[in-house]
Every structure is written in structure tokens, then in C-alpha cells.
Amino acid sequence: MQGLVAAGVGVALIPGLALVNARPDIVIRSIGAKPPVRRIMAATLANGYRSPAMAEMLETLERIAAAYGAKTPELAAVS
């Protein structure tokens, strides 16, 4: 998306997490005090086997979401 903006063919809504890699040749502008919020979910099989790696990944995602939500009050971890 940033490439299309840099080429002058459009405007893009970019999530805050994607701004880590913002191009230096485009301008990032806020769209207001209460920007749209999106929820990101982790999907697993219902009643499926949870490997130790999967359990650790889910715990890590929950921990990061909680820490991110603490910095941004309108976001919260969903369980």
C-alpha cells in the first residue's frame, strides 16, 4: 500500500503496528482522536490438540496484547 501512495495513485489507511516500517517518502497523518480499532484473533481447532509450541504462542500473544492494550486504552486483549 505504501508503494501506491508513494507513486501518487492513492491514499491508504495503515494500522499503527505497520508504521514501524513507514517509507520516508510518504507522509503519515492522524485521522483523528479516535481512529478505527480492529481486533486480531488467533484461530485454533475447537477441542483440538494444543502442542506446547501452540500453547506458548497463544500465551505470548495474550501477554503482548495485554501490554499493548495498557498503552492504548481503547484496545484490550480478547479471551
Same domain, 56 and 70: yes
Q: Give the span between the Cα atoms of 28 and 76, in whole angstroms.
A: 25
Q: Give the span between the Cα atoms of 34 and 77, in whole angstroms.
A: 18
| Measured CA distances, 23 to 4, 55, 64 (Å) | 11, 35, 25
Please compute the mean of the pLDDT values over residues 47-64 and round it to a whole number.
Answer: 91
- Better-scored residue on pLDDT, 44 or 74: 44
Give the global pTM. 0.48
How large a percentage of the chain has pLDDT more than 70? 86
Same domain, 57 and 71: yes
How many domains are contained in the chain? 2
Contact indicator for 75, 69 with CB cutoff of 8 Å: yes
**pLDDT at residue 72 above 60?**
no
In this predicted structure, what is the pLDDT of residue 35? 75
Give residue 11's domain range: 1-36
Q: What are phi and psi of 5, to 5 degrees?
A: -65, -45
**pLDDT at residue 73 above 60?**
no
Same domain, 1 and 32: yes
In this predicted structure, what is the pLDDT of residue 71? 60
